[in-house]
Amino acid sequence: MDIKTVATTPFDDQRPGTSGLRKKTRVFLEKTNYLENFVQATFDSLEGFKGKTLVVGGDGRYGNKEAIQTITRMAAANGFGRVLIGKYGLLSTPAASCVIRKYKAFGGFILSASHNPAGIDEDFGIKYNGDNGGPAVEKITEAIYRHTLEIEQYLTCEAPDIHLEKVGSTQIGDTEVVVINPISDYALLMQEIFDFDAIRELFKSDFRMCFDGMSAITGPYARAILENELGAPKGTVINHIPRPDFGGGHPDPNLTYAKKLVSIMFGPTPPEFGAASDGDGDRNMILGRNFFVTPSDSLAILAANATLVPGYKDGLAGVARSMPTSAAVDQVARALQIPCFETPTGWKFFGNLMDAGKITLCGEESFGTGSDHVREKDGLWAVLFWLNILAVRKCSVEDIVRQHWQKYGRNFYTRHDYEGVAKDRAEDMMQNLRNRLHSLPDRVVGSMRISYSDDFSYTDPVDGSKSAGQGIRIQFNDGSRIVYRLSGTGTEGATLRVYIERFEENPAAHRIETQAALSDLIAFANNIAEIQKFTSRSKPTVIT
C-alpha cells in the first residue's frame, strides 16, 4: 500500500458539539479537507489503535457513502488492522454501538446529523465513539478540537472503492475491510433482552401498531425485527426505505415532525400503539391511541416496569436522566430504592455510569432512552420495551400511563425551542440571566416560591471530571423547575431551549392539558429571561 501524506490547513470551526461535528452539507463539500481534517485529528488524538478494528457507517444521508470511502482509506493509511462497515454503508447509532462492543473494536465513526434534515442544502455530521461503544468522552473531543486547530497533514492511500452492497472481505494493504450485516447483530441483541415469544403472541391477537421509519435509518431494522421476526403484519413499518434526503422530511420523532404517524394515531381508526425513530435511530417517540407519552414519562414507566422484561428481570442497578429531563424517573427510583443520577445533556455522561455498573436505564427529555445493552440511546429498543410491557400487561398505552401517574404523581412537562436565533443575542440573554441568578431565590410565582437558582455543573462520580455551565436552573419549593440552555447540535445560529416542569400529585388534576397546566410557569420563564426582547420572537419555533 502506498501511503500518501497530504498537506492541509486547519479550520477554526470544528469544535464537536453535544453529539459530534454537525455542519451544513455544503461546508463539508466546499471546504477542502473538512472531513479529512476531522478524521485525522481524531486519529491524532487516539493512542494504540495500530492493528485494531475501526467501525464505520452512517444513517444513509447525502454524502454518507463517499465519506465512508474516504475514512476507510485514511484508516488503512493510519494503520488500523481492520475496518468493519455496515452493508450499503448503513449503521444506526445504536447498531454501531452494538457492533463496536460485539467485535471489540477500538472505536468507530458514525456519519450522521441525527434528527437534522439531510441533503445537499441540509446537514451532515460525523461523531467518534470509543471502545465502550459510547460517544467519545470530553477529554477526547477536546483533543480532537485542539488537533483540528493545528493540523498540517493527513494520511491516505490509493485504493479502489469498497463494494458496500456486498457482505464480504477485501484488503487494502495490510488492512482487512469487511462489509457486515449489522441488522442481524442488532436483532440478536434485542432477542437476548426481550420476550420475543410474548410479543409474537401479541401480534397474533388483533393488536396492531404503526412504526414510522421517517425515511431514515431505522426502517430496515424495524422491518426485520417487527415484521419478519415478530410477525407484525406487512405495512406495520411506514416510510421504511432510508433516503439520502430522508424523503425531504425532518426525521425528528415528535408531534410536529412525525406528521404521518401523528395523523394515523390521532385519526379515526388508530392502531393500539405508534412509534417513530429519528435520522440515526437513537431517538423514539411513543404514542397510544390519541395519546402522546412524553419521553420523560416513558423513561419513568420503563423503569417502573423493567422487571417484566427478561433482560431486566433482576431489577435495575440505578437510573439516570439528563438535568433538563423531568423528575418523573426520580419518583420511581425513590420507590424502588435505587440510585438516580442527574447528568448534563448528551449521552456521553451516561456511559461512565454504565461502565461502572452504577446504572441500568437512562434517558433524556429529547426522545432518547437507553440501557446498558449498548452505550447510545436506542430508538427501536425503547419500542420493543414498550411492546414487551404491553404484551405482559395487556392494557392500552394510555392505561399504563394513567395508572403510573396515579401511583407516582404526574410531572407536567414541556420544552419550548427558539430555533435560528442570532448567536450573540442568545448568549447575551443567558449571560443576563446568569448575572441575576442570586436575586431570584424567594421570589413568589402563584403559590410557588423559588428555592434556588444556579448554572448546573456536574462532577462525574466515576472519573471526577467536571463539566460547568450546563444550563441555568430555577428551582421552586414544590418541585417545579425552569431550565434554560443553548443547543449544542444546531447548525444555524443558536437554538434556545426552555424546559418547564411542574409536579402534580392529585389525580383529579392529571387530565389538564399540559400547556395550560404550566401556563403560569411559562409566562414567568418568558418574563424573567426577557426572551422576546433578546430573541425578537413572540413564540417558540417548536413546542414538545
Q: Whole-number minimum distance, CB 398 to ligand VG1, in Å?
A: 26
* Piece in contact with Co ion (CB under 5 A), picked from 79-87, 117-125, 151-159, 271-279: 271-279
510 three-class SS: coil
One-letter amino acid of 438 = H
Nearest to 277 by CA among 361, 376, 185, 403: 376
Strand 368-371 vs strand 53-58: parallel, antiparallel, or unpaired?
unpaired
Rounded to an integer, what distance in angstroms lies between the CA atom of residue 244 and that of residue 282?
18
Rounded to an integer, what distance in angstroms lies between the CA atom of residue 456 and that of residue 44?
32
Q: Which of 97, 114, 277, 366 is catalytic?
A: 114
Q: How many residues bind ligand VG1 (CB under 6 A)?
A: 18
Interface characters, 279-308, with Co ion (x: CB under 5 A): -x-xx-------------------------
Using rule CB under 6 A, residue 19 touches ligand VG1: yes
> Is 114 or 148 the residue whose CB approaches ligand VG1 more closely?
114
Is 114 an annotated catalytic residue?
yes
Q: Whole-number minimum distance, CB 161 to ligand VG1, in Å?
A: 28
Strand 168-172 vs strand 284-288: parallel, antiparallel, or unpaired?
unpaired
Q: What is the 3-state secondary structure (H, E, C) of 159-190?
A: CCCCCCCCCEEEEECCEEEEEECHHHHHHHHH
Using rule CB under 6 A, residue 348 touches ligand VG1: no
Which three three-digit cell numbers place residue 191?
432477542
Which three three-digit cell numbers place residue 239?
416510510
> Is 114 or 141 the residue whose CB approaches ligand VG1 more closely?
114
Strand 153-157 vs strand 3-7: parallel, antiparallel, or unpaired?
antiparallel
> Is 318 or 346 the residue whose CB approaches ligand VG1 more closely?
346
Taking CB atoms, the residue at the shortest distance from ligand VG1 is 114
Q: Say if CB 133 and CB 125 are below 8 A apart.
A: no
Using rule CB under 6 A, residue 250 touches ligand VG1: no
Rounded to an integer, what distance in angstroms lies between the CA atom of residue 39 and that of residue 156?
11
Using rule CB under 6 A, residue 326 touches ligand VG1: no
> Is 278 or 297 the residue whose CB approaches Co ion more closely?
278
Using CB under 6 A, pick the residue from 63, 117, 346, 370 that binds ligand VG1.
346
Using CB under 6 A, pick the residue from 25, 298, 345, 480 that binds ligand VG1.
345
Nearest to 344 by CA among 322, 370, 372: 322
Q: Say if CB 466 and CB 457 are below 8 A apart.
A: yes
Q: Whole-number minimum distance, CB 38 to Co ion, in Å?
A: 19
Rounded to an integer, what distance in angstroms lies between the CA atom of residue 217 and that of residue 253?
13
Nearest to 486 by CA among 420, 542, 541, 539: 420
**From the list ligand VG1, Co ion, none, partner contacted by residue 489 (C-beta under 5 to 8 A by kind):** ligand VG1
Q: Whole-number minimum distance, CB 252 to ligand VG1, in Å?
A: 8
CB neighbours of 444 closer than 8 A, spacing ≥ 6? 450
* Piece in contact with ligand VG1 (CB under 6 A), picked from 103-111, 267-275, 362-370, 509-517: 362-370
Using rule CB under 6 A, residue 156 touches ligand VG1: no
Supply the residues annotated as catalytic: 114
Interface residues with ligand VG1 (CB under 6 A) are 18-19, 114-115, 278, 282-283, 322, 345-347, 364, 366, 368, 487-489, 497
Interface residues with Co ion (CB under 5 A) are 114, 278, 280, 282-283
